[in-house]
Structure 1
Amino acid sequence: MKSQDVVILLKLVSLEHGERGHPRLDVHREDPFSVRGLGASLGISKTEVNASVNRSIASGLAVKDRNSGRPKPNRRNLCNFIVHGLKFVFPARPGAMTRGVPTAFAAPSLKSLLISAGEYIYVWPFAKGKIQGQSLEPLFKSVPEAVQKDERLYEYLALVDAIRIGNQRETGVAVERISERLLKSDQR
């Protein structure tokens, strides 16, 4: 398993959620679920996306949809892995102060959930970032760019970082929120 596998799986969850609200009608556009579509939206090579999908299927974190043949995240297994294993497999280590994209509870969709005690916020280093904070390496180097185009993916990855780096209270809130997002069948 590689860290980008989690990014790709969460992108698939985001795409599934978006598809429920707005089914794809344009048959001339690239299929966002395809290896090429995932690679383009995440800044990950097609070869690595394909290898990632195969690893995720082999580990039980994804399955191939019987009808479409698309990779489909096994949400329960993915949630269990994020909640119970991710911080041990891909630990977060804060770094130096830098400009970047806010993550964890500093992300726009999460900052109202907890009141900061005045400590520095965490950011993914990003040259075009406007926020100063303590650097936190993302699960994959292209994450800061990819989340600019997908708010739902941004929320998921920020929650993942809150679980990776948070203390007990922060982790509890993040676990509750990501579990709600991943396990509810009618996310609208």
Structure 2
Amino acid sequence: MSLPDDWRDWQIEDEDALGEDETRLLDSEAGLARYSVRALAEETGISKSQVSLALQRCLQVSLARKDRKTGVPRANTKALFDFIVHGLRYVFPARPGEITRGIATSFAAPVLEGRLFSSGELVMVWPDARGNTKGQAVEPLFKSAPYAVRRDKELYAMLALVDAIRLGHPRESKLAANLLAEYLG
């Protein structure tokens, strides 16, 4: 599954893209360093202490488990998928807010472009001053999501699909769940 080349819904700045060295690092064995608490904090804009606590909670409830060979936490994709599809909307409900400028999410994001057609509804956006889309504000799962998705198009696609599940009607939620299953595959 791939996103269109013009997947960015914001004004691009140098900090948004990974450099060539960072891209090579992700593709190599040394890419395991990408999953350290420090690296995750840097990539997501979440503090190191919050990343550490989140990893501990995920390990405790089996949404993540440590890799037997490397000891690096890995997502338990089946449990994570089940939680997203069946429980996330109750734990992290999303309510459309005021009209604002931001980054398109849910059915307006590039990952669902051309797959769903709305009946004239306003699109959903994560409020962000650099965003290009005007729509109804929806609070992201974490306040730094707009920062994180500018650095990682796969994360952008997955978080937009999660929002489609949180916000969508059954048809939208089912399509988003099927696409998310492909990403988590």
The TM-score bracket by the shorter chain reads 0.7 to 0.9
Cα offset, 1:23, TM superposition = 2.6
Query: Is residue 23 of structure 1 aligned with residue 27 of structure 2?
Result: yes
**Structure 2: unaligned runs, 5 residues or longer:** 1-22
Q: Which residue of 1 aligns with 2:181?
A: 179
Q: Which 4+ runs in 1 deviate beyond 2 A?
A: none
Which of 82, 85, 98 in structure 1 is aligned with 2:84?
A: 82
Query: Is residue 170 of structure 1 aligned with residue 169 of structure 2?
Result: no
Q: Determine if contact 1:121/1:134 at 8 Å carries over to the other structure.
A: yes
Rounded Cα–Cα distance in structure 1 between residues aligned with 2:46 and 2:28: 23
Q: Which residue of 2 aligns with 1:6?
A: none
Cα deviation digits, residues 108-156 of structure 1 (max 9, x gap) = 1212110121110000000111210000000000001110111100010
Q: SS of the counterpart of 1:115? A: coil
Q: Which residue of 1 aligns with 2:47?
A: 45
**Structure 1: unaligned runs, 5 residues or longer:** 1-18
Q: Determine if contact 1:30/1:37 at 8 Å carries over to the other structure.
A: no
Which of 107, 114, 117 in structure 1 is aligned with 2:116?
A: 114
Cα offset, 1:80, TM superposition = 0.3
Task: Summarize the alignment of residues 120-131 of structure 1 with structure 2, pairs less than 5 Å apart.
Answer: 120-131=122-133
Q: Determine if contact 2:32/2:72 at 8 Å carries over to the other structure.
A: no
Q: Determine if contact 1:63/1:73 at 8 Å carries over to the other structure.
A: yes
Rounded Cα–Cα distance in structure 1 between residues aligned with 2:80 and 2:128: 27
Letter in 1 for 2:139: E
The TM-score normalised by the length of structure 2 is: 0.83
Letter in 1 for 2:39: G
Cα deviation digits, residues 7-35 of structure 1 (max 9, x gap) = xxxxxxxxxxxx9xx6326x5x8921100
Q: SS of the counterpart of 1:169? A: helix
Q: SS of the counterpart of 1:123? A: strand
Rounded Cα–Cα distance in structure 1 between residues aligned with 2:86 and 2:115: 21
Q: Which residue of 1 aligns with 2:9?
A: none
Identity %: 48
Q: Determine if contact 1:31/1:37 at 8 Å carries over to the other structure.
A: yes
Q: SS of the counterpart of 2:112? A: coil
RMSD of equivalent CA atoms: 1.7
Q: Determine if contact 1:100/1:126 at 8 Å carries over to the other structure.
A: yes
Aligned residues: 161
